[in-house]
Amino acid sequence: MRDLPRFTAAAVQSAPVYLDPAATVDKAVTLIGEAAAHGARLIVFPEVFVPGYPYWNWTMNPVQGSPWFERLWHASIEVPGPYVDTLREAARQHAVTVVIGVNERVSHSLGVLYNTLLTLGPEGDLLGVHRKLVPTWAEKLTWTGGDGSSLQVHQTPVGPLGVLACGENTNTLARFSLLAQGELVHASAYIALPVAPDDYDMADAIAVRTAAHSFEGKVFSVVACSTISPEIVDTIAGDDQDARRMLARPRSALSGVFGPDGRPVTDPLIDDEGIVYADIDLNRCIQPKQMHDIVGHYNRFDVFRLHVDTTPRPPVTFVTDQHDAAVEGDAPSMEES
Cβ atoms of residues 191 and 53 within 8 Å:
yes
From 246, 253, 127, select the one nearest 188 (Cα to Cα).
253
Asked if 206 and 331 sit in the same domain, the reply is no
Asked if 231 and 312 sit in the same domain, the reply is no
Asked if 211 and 326 sit in the same domain, the reply is no
Task: Examine residue 300 and state whether it is found in any structural domain, yes or no.
Answer: no
Asked if 213 and 285 sit in the same domain, the reply is yes
Residues 115-152 pLDDT 10s: 999 999 999 999 999 999 999 999 999 999 999 999 99
Asked if 243 and 318 sit in the same domain, the reply is no
User: How confident is the prediction for the chain on average, in pLDDT?
Assistant: 95
pLDDT, residue 327, reads: 52
Query: What is the dihedral sign for C-alpha 178, 163, 72, 90?
Result: negative
24 Cβ neighbours under 8 A, 6+ residues apart: 16, 17, 49, 50, 51, 52
Task: Examine residue 327 and state whether it is found in any structural domain, yes or no.
Answer: yes
9 - beta bridge partners? 42, 278
The DSSP H or E segment spanning 7 is: strand 6-13
98 - beta bridge partners? 43, 120
Asked if 256 and 316 sit in the same domain, the reply is no
Task: Examine residue 301 and state whether it is found in any structural domain, yes or no.
Answer: no
Task: Examine residue 298 and state whether it is found in any structural domain, yes or no.
Answer: no
Task: Examine residue 247 and state whether it is found in any structural domain, yes or no.
Answer: yes
Task: Examine residue 299 and state whether it is found in any structural domain, yes or no.
Answer: no
Determine the Cα–Cα distance for residues 69 and 270; give it in Å rounded to an integer: 29
Any idea what the CATH number is for the domain that residue 284 is in? 3.60.110.10
Enumerate the active-site residues.
47, 132, 166
DSSP 226-289: B---HHHHHHHHTT-HHHHHHHT-SS--EEEEE-TTSSBSSPPEESS-EEEEEEEEGGGGHHHH
CA distances from 5 to 28, 188, 315, 331 (A): 25, 20, 41, 36
**Domains held by the chain: number:** 2
In terms of residue numbers, what domain contains 313?
Answer: 306-336
Q: What percent of the chain stands above pLDDT 90?
A: 92
Asked if 92 and 121 sit in the same domain, the reply is yes
pLDDT, residue 331, reads: 45
Pairing of strands 274-281, 6-13: antiparallel
**Whether residue 219 has pLDDT greater than 50:** yes
Reported pTM: 0.94
**Whether residue 325 has pLDDT greater than 90:** no
pLDDT, residue 308, reads: 97
